[in-house]
Amino acid sequence: MTPEDFLLEMAEREECQSVMYKRMSIHMHIGLYNSRRANIYQIDSWMIPLAKVIKKQLEQNVVDIDALLKYMIENDKTNCALFAATTWFKPKEGISFESYASYIARDKIISPFVENIDRAVFSTIVVSFIFDYFRPTTIDISEIVKNEIFTHPTNQYGLTKVNGATFKKDGLIFEGKGYYYNCFTNKTIINPLDSTVGFAKIIQDEAGDCDILYRLDDRLSMPEQEYQDYTGVSFAKFYGPQFRFEPGVFSAPKTIIVHIDEKTLDKLLMVVKPCVDSKTGEDFWHVEIETLPYSTTYTKNVITTFLHGMYYPEKGIFSHIDYTKNQYSQSLYIQKYTANCKCKLDTRTVKIS
């Protein structure tokens, strides 16, 4: 079997497909992550099933290991396969490490230069390559929603009350399980020493006594003791333009404000709708903010970030904030972005369920 056919077959296995969405939620290269391990025989639990399948195939000589390594080195943009091949195996007696590393880099094969190729170790190289090389580059929200698995009670939006959850850099801990944030989540932290992401820190520091609802897809879960963060230190100081309003500025039923980045032509759409609380009689605003990215070549589907809040101007507080991703067809999005006469700028996409 050719290396390419072998890798394709492994990538299509259930052991790979069942965890690929979890892998998508991890922004780090798996090859880089595994290359930093102190114990190369120990990999994360969700990678083990695929690693076992690959190890068995290698033991049965389904594919030539040298040809496979050569293919991975030539197609690995991160050079993690080359790094692993030169550092995870012991060269033959009489070959110095410098010479060994030079031979691997030159010939992109390994068997002539080592006494033994540990299949368990080599399978980790293959697993890392597959999870990085075959990681989907396009996302269809309808496919993600269709395959979601919920084991906790949810509301009509698929959200679960997670009061008491512990938020970390790459996910949250709730009722004995770790849940990685999905691939749409901005995991930037606010301060370099923070142990959690920015949105969670704001909730913890500013929200006070309130309900927290989150989409708990069981495909992103693992036992709490197996959870770990992959994200390193990176932080943001600035999130975007600030909107400041004078009292009484919103007299119309709906006010639309558009902020345009002159360099990127990205738009930030804000819609404010004054309303009256049916229970208390207080005035409040529905505040909607949506990102409208610009591109010269839009894909089949365009995904935007959408925020909604209920703001009470007299109290200066938000009683409710929610966040979602909207997916538009290419044609509808272009009409929306350009404010085509047939499509208003604040046109909504249809709900995916």
Whether 124 and 192 map to the same domain: the answer is: no
Whether 277 and 328 map to the same domain: the answer is: yes
Whether 125 and 31 map to the same domain: the answer is: yes
pLDDT tens digit sequence for 144-157: 888 899 999 999 98
Whether 7 and 127 map to the same domain: the answer is: yes
Q: Cα separation of 331 and 352, whole Å?
A: 18
Whether 14 and 125 map to the same domain: the answer is: yes
Per-residue three-class SS string for the chain: CCHHHHHHHHHCCHHHHHHHHHHHCCCCCHHHHHHCCCCCCCCCHHHHHHHHHHHHHHHCCCCCHHHHHHHHHHHCCCCHHHHHHHHCCCECCCCCHHHHHHHHHHHCCCHHHECCCCHHHHHHHHHHHHHHHCCCCCCCHHHHHHCCCCCCCCCCCCCEECCCCEECCCEEEECCEEEECCCCCCCCECCCCCCCCHHHHHHHHHHCCCCCEECCCHHHEEEHHHCCCCCCCCECCCCCCCCCCCCCCCCCCCEEEEEECCCCCCEEEEEEEEEECCCCCCEEEEEEEEEECCCCCCCCEEEEEEEEEEEECCCCEEEEEEEEEEEEEHHHHHHHHHCCCCCCCCCCCCCCC
Whether 92 and 13 map to the same domain: the answer is: yes
Residue 156 lies in a domain: no
* More confident site: 231 or 239: 231
Residue 109 lies in a domain: yes
Residue 65 lies in a domain: yes
In whole angstroms, how far apart are CA 134 and each of 67, 75, 190, 278? 19, 11, 31, 51
pLDDT tens digit sequence for 6-50: 999 999 999 999 999 999 888 888 888 888 777 888 888 999 999
Residue 291 lies in a domain: yes
Domain that holds residue 296: 255-338
pLDDT tens digit sequence for 176-234: 999 999 888 888 888 777 788 888 888 878 777 788 899 999 999 999 998 988 875 34
Whether 90 and 183 map to the same domain: the answer is: no
pLDDT tens digit sequence for 60-117: 999 999 999 999 999 998 888 999 999 899 999 999 988 998 999 999 999 999 989 9
Nearest to 10 by CA among 61, 80, 57: 57
Whether 15 and 129 map to the same domain: the answer is: yes
pLDDT tens digit sequence for 248-277: 667 778 888 888 888 888 888 888 888 998
Residue 11 lies in a domain: yes
Domain boundary among 133, 149, 180: 133
Domain boundary among 116, 133, 150: 133
Domain boundary among 205, 226, 247: 226
**Tally of structural domains, the chain:** 3
Q: Give residue 234's pLDDT.
A: 40
